[in-house]
Amino acid sequence: MSQSLQEQYVNRGIGHAICRLIAENGPSGIVYASSRAGVDLALHSTRGVYFRYAILDLTNPSSIEHLAWIIKDEQGDMDVLFNVAGLNIMKPRTGSRAFADNKKIMDVNFHGTLQMCLAFLPIMKPGSRIQSAKGSRAAQDGWPESGYSVSKACINAMTAIMAREHADILVNACCPGWVSTEMGKQVGAQPPKSAIEGASIPLRLGFEDIGHVRGRYWANDFVGDTDNGRVQNW
């Protein structure tokens, strides 16, 4: 990949914040911090956390399969899958061109995330966790009524179905709140939460004691809240 494309496709946002917090607080182990360019984030940890910077494009099924194969080959199995990658187009075009924009959003947010789960489920340990990012309650928070909302409603449905089919894995979805990342800033106003604050609900679902709750949607009551979430209706 060329240098300019590398700069464009840097591992960023809430995914980057999740990695930084794992580096600081553990638990120990290997983290495959993936992005389309496989950018080296130079993360260091004194807590026995080691980072591998893998290439992953959610719109390319062979890229997903390849990463699952690498992790199986190198680690055998895994404990947690964070599905963080997402795309929004705030001003989708109108008419027939709107279809192309909405398809692009669905391809990453829903089809890509579903492919991730299907590729990685066979190597998830019993008792392991899958956590997928879901959007905020779109319209009332100023997000557009676009394919984005539909793609994230599909994530909730997928989460419920997958939890029913895989009773030994804690599959959940969450909204990180309104977070100051490239995506969050597209709304126009300044998002109230930092990327680090946006990482707190995903990290709770990934590593903390949540009992046996599965197939649910977690969020705070308001998109600016910095609590670490509770089960909500969607």
Asked if residue 133 binds ligand NAP (CB under 6 A), the reply is: yes
Q: How far is the CB of 205 from ligand NAP (least distance, A)?
A: 13
> What's 31-97 look like in SS3?
EECCECCCCCCCCCCCCCEEEECCECCCCCHHHHHHHHHHHHHHHCCEEEEEECCCCCCCCCCCCHH
| Number of residues located near ligand NAP, criterion CB under 6 A | 30
Asked whether 184 and 191 are in contact (CB, 8 A), the reply is yes
- Taking the least distance from each CB to ligand NAP, the nearer of 14 and 163 is 14
Task: Indicate whether 159 belongs to the interface with ligand NAP (CB under 6 A).
Answer: no
Residue 126 CB, nearest approach to ligand NAP (Å): 27
Out of 183, 199, 201, 205, the residue judged to bind ligand NAP by CB under 6 A: 183
Radius of gyration (Cα) for the chain, nearest Å? 17
**Residue written as token pair 């990180």:** 176
**Which range touches ligand NAP (CB under 6 A), out of 18-26, 68-76, 90-98, 171-179?**
171-179
Tokens read off for 40: 């080296």
Q: Judged by CB under 6 A, does residue 191 bind ligand NAP?
A: yes
DSSP notation for 116-139 = HHHHHGGGEEEEEEEEEE----TG
Residues in contact with ligand NAP, shown as a per-residue x/- string from 85 to 124 under the rule CB under 6 A: xxx--------------------x----------------
Could you tell me if 49 and 26 are in contact, meaning their C-beta atoms sit under 8 angstroms apart? Answer: yes
Tell me the C-alpha distance between 73 and 164, whole Å.
28
Residue 13 touching ligand NAP (CB under 6 A) = yes
Nearer to ligand NAP, 191 or 215 (CB): 191
Asked if 208 and 131 count as a contact pair (C-beta separation under 8 A), the reply is no
Out of 19, 31, 84, 169, the only residue in the binding site for ligand NAP (CB under 6 A) is 84
Sketch the per residue contact string, 20 through 49, with ligand NAP: x for CB under 6 A, - otherwise: ---------------xx-------------
Q: Which candidate, 30, 130, 128, 29, places its Cα nearest to that of 79?
A: 128
Chain contacts with ligand NAP (rule: CB under 6 A): 9-15, 35-36, 56-59, 84-87, 108, 133, 135-136, 175-176, 178-179, 181-184, 191
